[in-house]
């Protein structure tokens, strides 16, 4: 049997509250949950067999469900699914060895939510709009003046030059949308991690960490952004436990 | 309030959950994880990650796909 760890959390002066909560919950495959602590850091654990861990998607969702319930009551750092240890003693040793990092990360996420934001576009439509605008602005002439006599080569090169220029303009456009988003979020003092152009239609994939009290303001802000960019599709999810804002590896 | 941006689509939410729990969070280093999180589990995680973004896009475009139908 292995020990699967669900999350690292701070119970401060309320360990009995965690104990009562765990008594009413189950871990993956219906296993009992228990806690182990070092100083004020606690880890939630259950005993599992290897067979449970490769049961598939439903097991991962059960695991996430435990973390979600705990996060509604405590500040926590979610563990990645499959975080196993050999014994309770090894777990305590891990807490002791990593105490400063764990404590620092718990402080960072205290009273904060994570939200996800993906921005989708109709890539064909967006590129067509960029092309029309760029031709109107004179940034991409309909027929670039490439001085090659061979018409086939010239046409091919023209096409490639226009495509390259339009891709540059798309990146510029996406950067402007990101700048708008981050400008708005600076007001909310949100920590953000943003990836752009993840796929041709997912132009922005972002996560934010901000004070719980500012949740409604964030939703309002993103709604306003959606109204400002009606051709894009803003999809928010959350609140989440701070999966994307845990910045250390447990030794 | 402002429900137009918060997505409550169950399938998209499940993909987001799986993406987080399989690919994010505190990482335990060491042989224990590597030896027990065997090929099937790691492959499952990578497969889901590769499909999650594209599946979300298909869901948003209205193409039907069930939760169990996520394919890599």
ipTM (interface pTM): 0.80
- Can you give the pTM of this predicted structure? 0.78
The answer, yes or no, to whether residue A224 has pLDDT greater than 80, is: yes
Count of structural domains within chain B: 1
Residue range of the domain that includes A41: 2-110
Interface of B with A in 9-68 (CB under 8 A): 12-14, 16-18, 20-30, 32-33, 36-38, 40-41, 44-45, 48, 53-54, 56-57, 60, 67-68
Average pLDDT for A195-220 = 90
Residue range of the domain that includes B55: 10-69
Residue B14 lies in a domain: yes
- Using CA atoms, how far apart are residues A177 and A185, in angstroms rounded to an integer? 12
At B23 the pLDDT is 82
- Shortest CA distance from A239: residue in chain B: B6
Residue B4 lies in a domain: no
Residue A64 lies in a domain: yes
The answer, yes or no, to whether residue A10 has pLDDT greater than 90, is: no
At A164 the pLDDT is 87
- Shortest CA distance from B70: residue in chain A: A57
Q: Are residues A118 and A228 in the same domain?
A: yes
Q: Are residues A119 and A43 in the same domain?
A: no
Q: Are residues A117 and A236 in the same domain?
A: yes
Tens of pLDDT, residues A70-112: 999 999 999 988 888 888 999 999 999 999 999 999 999 999 9
At B65 the pLDDT is 37
Count of structural domains within chain A: 2
Please state, as a whole number, how many other Cβ atoms lie within 10 Å of the Cβ of residue B67. Answer: 14
Residue B57 lies in a domain: yes
Residue B25 lies in a domain: yes
At B18 the pLDDT is 85
Q: Are residues A118 and A218 in the same domain?
A: yes
Percentage helix, strand, coil for chain B under 3-state DSSP, each rounded to 5: 60, 5, 30
Q: Are residues A69 and A117 in the same domain?
A: no
Considering only CB atoms, which chain B residues are within 8 Å of A220?
Answer: 1-2
Average pLDDT for A45-60 = 77
CB A144 within 8 A of CB A158: yes
Tens of pLDDT, residues A151-174: 778 888 888 888 888 888 888 888
Tens of pLDDT, residues A109-153: 999 999 999 999 888 888 888 888 877 877 665 555 556 566 778
- Using CA atoms, how far apart are residues A55 and B41, in angstroms rounded to an integer? 9
Q: Are residues A168 and A49 in the same domain?
A: no
Which carries the bigger pLDDT value, residue B29 or residue A203?
A203
Tens of pLDDT, residues B30-50: 433 433 344 444 444 444 444
Residue B27 lies in a domain: yes
Q: Which of A23-27, A35-39, A230-234, B48-52 is predicted least confidently?
A: B48-52
At A53 the pLDDT is 65
Of A49, A78, A110, the last residue of a domain is: A110
Of A110, A143, A178, the last residue of a domain is: A110
Q: Are residues A117 and A229 in the same domain?
A: yes
Q: Are residues A237 and A118 in the same domain?
A: yes
Closest CA to B27 of A102, A39, A224: A102
Q: Is residue A54 within 8 angstroms of chain B, CB to CB?
A: yes
- Using CA atoms, how far apart are residues A233 and A41, in angstroms rounded to an integer? 41
User: Hey, are the CB atoms on B37 and A53 less than 8 Å from each other?
Assistant: yes
At A239 the pLDDT is 92
């Amino acid at each position: 049997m292995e020990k699967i760890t669900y999350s690292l959390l701070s119970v401060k002066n309320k360990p009995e509250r965690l104990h009562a909560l765990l008594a009413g919950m189950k871990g993956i495959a219906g296993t009992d949950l228990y806690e182990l602590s070092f100083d004020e850091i606690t880890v939630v654990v259950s005993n599992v067999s290897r067979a449970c861990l490769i049961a598939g998607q439903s097991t991962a969702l059960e695991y996430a469900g435990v973390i979600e319930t705990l996060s509604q009551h405590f500040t926590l750092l979610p563990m990645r699914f499959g975080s196993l240890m050999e014994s309770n003693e090894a777990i305590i040793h891990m807490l002791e060895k990593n105490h400063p990092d764990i404590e620092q990360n718990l402080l960072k996420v205290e009273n904060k939510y994570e939200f996800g934001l993906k921005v989708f576009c109709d890539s064909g439509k967006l590129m067509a709009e960029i092309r029309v605008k760029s031709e109107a602005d004179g940034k991409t002439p309909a027929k670039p003046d490439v001085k090659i006599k061979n018409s086939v080569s010239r046409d091919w090169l023209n096409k490639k030059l226009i495509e390259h220029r339009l891709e540059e303009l798309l990146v510029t456009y996406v950067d402007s949308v990101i700048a708008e988003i981050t400008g708005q979020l600076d007001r909310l003092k949100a920590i953000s991690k943003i990836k752009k152009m993840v796929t041709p239609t997912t132009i922005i994939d972002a996560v934010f960490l901000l004070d719980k009290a500012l949740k409604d303001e964030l939703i309002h802000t993103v709604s306003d952004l959606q109204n400002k960019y009606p051709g894009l599709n803003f999809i928010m999810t959350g609140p989440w436990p701070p999966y994307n804002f845990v910045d250390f590896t447990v030794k | 309030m402002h429900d137009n941006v918060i997505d409550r689509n169950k399938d998209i939410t499940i993909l987001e959950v799986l993406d987080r729990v399989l690919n994010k969070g505190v990482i335990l280093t060491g042989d224990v994880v590597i030896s027990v999180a065997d090929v099937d589990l790691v492959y499952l995680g990578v497969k889901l990650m590769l499909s999650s973004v594209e599946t979300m896009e298909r869901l948003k475009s209205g193409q039907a796909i069930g939760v169990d139908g996520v394919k890599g």
